[in-house]
Structure 1
Amino acid sequence: MTHYARGLVVRDPGVPATIEELRLPVIGPGQVRVEIRAAGVCHSDLSMINGTLRPPHPLVLGHEAAGQVVEIGDRVSRVRVGDHVVLNWQPACRNCWFCEHGQPWLCSTSSGVAALENGMTLDGAPVHVTLGLGAFAEQVVAPENAVVAVPPQLGFDLAALLGCSVLTGSGAVRNTAGVRPGESVLVIGLGGVGLSAVAAARAAGAGPVIAVDVSEAKKGLAEAAGATDFLVSSDALSKEVRALTEKRGADHAIECVGRASTIRAAWRATRRGGQVTVVGMGAADDMVQLAALDIFSSARTLKASVYGQADTDLEVPALARDVLDGRLNLDHLITDRITLADIPDAFTRMARGEGARSVAVL
């Protein structure tokens, strides 16, 4: 049986996204069809349309989402019809070298794919879907390893955030940086990912937790997430951070912007022997320059954190339990609940640095 669904489509670079009717692929063995109930507007989606990334077109945007399974194909064993699920844009094959060596977030079958065809069509022609999902749509078809079941008591809007911003930000703190109680943490960039990193740092017992953004308006959100201090980004950032960290600099800096300038700022504000963790996805031509002598004499470590360096199949259910048990509060992350048609305006607000997460509720 053929199924159709409306989705947010960018037909060509520079052309505004519009809602179009899409023909879904017929599900095959090992695949599931999911009715999307909520989808977060992530900066990675903005990168697909502002030139930071150059995916093929036409393109269905969206990858941070949650929904309900409405159909399963043959040999599907991990979910059933009716299950509530979070989408996983970096599904692990469990068979490649990276998966077998404990790094499923670097799975060679899915890493580095900005957009691909999945059998969905528009006007009879193939379309590409963001990060293999295309979740700004009423329904999607995905492999079963791209969905993770979560308790039905968890609202779809909060569940959607677990699939990207929360997992990415909290994983950068817990898994990549390995923040310990009493260590100082600097977080630069307070979108959904950065605010999740702030919350995770505070939950880990870090102190001080210093939140930085270009907008003074983010101060309230930072404090709600658990920041002990808030700074507006400036050329004096390194000096201000040292004043809050006994003149040493932060033990950890979590960079959530993805720009050479903010990576350098994080580097300068970190103490000797400290660690800089880069979470933001930057442009290929935005080069980071560090002096060779500085690298040696500062003894700092510079690492990247891909998808929170997390095993999604294990950590998404754990995060869901933390939310339901009250150990993890996500209420401050959603600043706008919108419709599918409102997503282009949400991109505009994001580009201006306004709010935390906009979530489309379908």
Structure 2
Amino acid sequence: MAATQHAWAVVEHGKPLQKIEIPIPEPTGTEILIRVTHCGVCHSDLHFWEGFYDLGGGKRMYVKDRGATLPRAPGHEIFGTVVKHGPDANPKTVSVGSSRVVYPWVGCGKCGRCEDGDDNLCVAQNIRGIFTNGGFAQYITVPHARYLVDCGNVNPSVACTFGCSGLTVLSSIQKLKPLRPEEPVLLIGAGGLGLACIAMLQALGHKNIVTADISAEKRHAALDAGTTAVMDSRAEDPVKEAIQAAGGPLAGAIDFVCSKQTAEFAMASVGKGGKVIAVGIMGGEMSLSLVPFTFGSKSLIGNITGTPQHLRDVAEIAQSGKLSPIPITEVPWDQANDALQELHAGKVTGRLVLIH
């Protein structure tokens, strides 16, 4: 094996990715070396490329303040092939040549959160594509076999998305529980996550889904995916339209955008006891009238990705045949810059996946 690899990397925030040569990491301890074959292109990759998050009120949180350094190969929706084991890894757990989805939200492995299996809540994460190189590189390591999940015969271009969009939507839906199949749910945003959520809700037996998006093309994609109704979130009275489409106040809402406008729309649309799950990171601030919030016994819950168990559960649901695949557009790995810019321009329906 060669000693070096190529990676499409952020060398300067906001500037085109550069193809750089970096060492192929040598797996140590229980680490496993993966040859990346597929990598989804996610909106979180865009935020990393831009270098900041909008906190509202003119304030920003910079990725460097999270401890991220450059150059860095982004990409966290990773599918690849096992190449080599570290000296303490058990080759019988996952053999060389096996293809697996990577869980990218790796925790420190030592804290209480990690011991409970909640790597996504660890305060010392080593996320692939942010704090260490991700799937825009040719090779990555994972710290342990437990972060590799078998998806059987699921198309690798679909399976790679389970590491972010798949596990995130399952985690978000579970936060809405208890939720009866007929109770209406509002989804804001019909991008890759929104379409994945429609598919997951259907797989779990939910039958009343209202999807809001500003794009007519994405609303059409949501209808194709099986949502019950669609609406333009820029409507004159979006709350009224959402409630009418649902047949009454919403039991819950999942906001895959999370701007000031969408967050306030979601909160106003849910009925008494309703829950709003905040997933997107477009950013900003929202206004919240506290008395109606209390009288309505409403909940606003943040959701950051999901756990390794969520990924295993998504893989199981997908292999059962119940989970419809989202629209996938495969893009050659050398067109990583074009893929990122298409996403930045809002031209993507479903998910772009880089093929190595």
The within-5 A match list for 1:293-332 is: 293-308=291-306, 311-312=307-308, 314-330=309-325, 332=326
Distance 1:271 1:352, change over 3 A: farther
Provide the residue aligned with 1:119 in structure 2.
none
Provide the residue aligned with 2:212 in structure 1.
212
Counterparts of 2:16 and 2:242, CA distance in 1: 40
Distance 1:236 1:114, change over 3 A: farther
Provide the residue aligned with 2:289 in structure 1.
291
| CA deviation profile, 1:224-263 (whole Å, cap 9, x unmatched) | 32201011111421010111233x4211100001322211
Equivalent of 1:82 in 97, 106, 109: 97
Equivalent of 1:350 in 311, 332, 343: 343
What is the identity, as a one-letter code, of the residue corresponding to 1:245? Answer: A
Distance 1:149 1:272, change over 3 A: closer
Counterparts of 1:201 and 1:153, CA distance in 2: 22
Provide the residue aligned with 1:182 in structure 2.
182
What is the identity, as a one-letter code, of the residue corresponding to 2:294? Answer: F
Q: Give the C-alpha shift of residue 101 in structure 1.
A: 4.6
Counterparts of 2:52 and 2:16, CA distance in 1: 16
Distance 1:318 1:245, change over 3 A: closer
Q: Give the C-alpha shift of residue 182 in structure 1.
A: 1.1
The within-5 A match list for 1:1-362 is: 3-53=3-53, 54-55=62-63, 56-77=69-90, 78-92=93-107, 95-101=110-116, 103-110=118-125, 129-144=129-144, 147-173=147-173, 175-178=174-177, 179-234=179-234, 235-246=236-247, 248-283=248-283, 286-308=284-306, 311-312=307-308, 314-330=309-325, 332-334=326-328, 336-354=329-347, 355-362=349-356
What is the identity, as a one-letter code, of the residue corresponding to 2:112? Answer: W
Counterparts of 1:32 and 1:102, CA distance in 2: 19
| CA deviation profile, 1:51-97 (whole Å, cap 9, x unmatched) | 43433322211111100010110111342211211111212555422
TM-score (norm 2): 0.87
Q: Give the C-alpha shift of residue 277 in structure 1.
A: 0.5
SS in 2 for 1:169: helix
- Whether contact under 8 Å (1:148, 1:316) holds in the other structure is no
| CA deviation profile, 1:143-168 (whole Å, cap 9, x unmatched) | 12573131453332122011111111
Cα RMSD (Å) of the superposition?
A: 2.2
TM-score (norm 1): 0.86
SS in 2 for 1:76: coil
Provide the residue aligned with 1:123 in structure 2.
none
| CA deviation profile, 1:308-349 (whole Å, cap 9, x unmatched) | 4xx31x33333223323311121x331x11012222222222
What is the identity, as a one-letter code, of the residue corresponding to 2:246? Answer: T
> Unaligned stretches of 5+ in structure 1?
116-128
- Using the aligned pairs only, state the percent identity: 26
Counterparts of 2:127 and 2:301, CA distance in 1: 21
What is the identity, as a one-letter code, of the residue corresponding to 1:79? Answer: V
- Whether contact under 8 Å (1:86, 1:163) holds in the other structure is yes
SS in 2 for 1:59: coil
Counterparts of 1:242 and 1:152, CA distance in 2: 40
Distance 1:155 1:200, change over 3 A: closer
Q: Give the C-alpha shift of residue 267 in structure 1.
A: 0.7
- How many residues align? The count is 338
Counterparts of 1:197 and 1:151, CA distance in 2: 18
- Whether contact under 8 Å (2:32, 2:143) holds in the other structure is yes
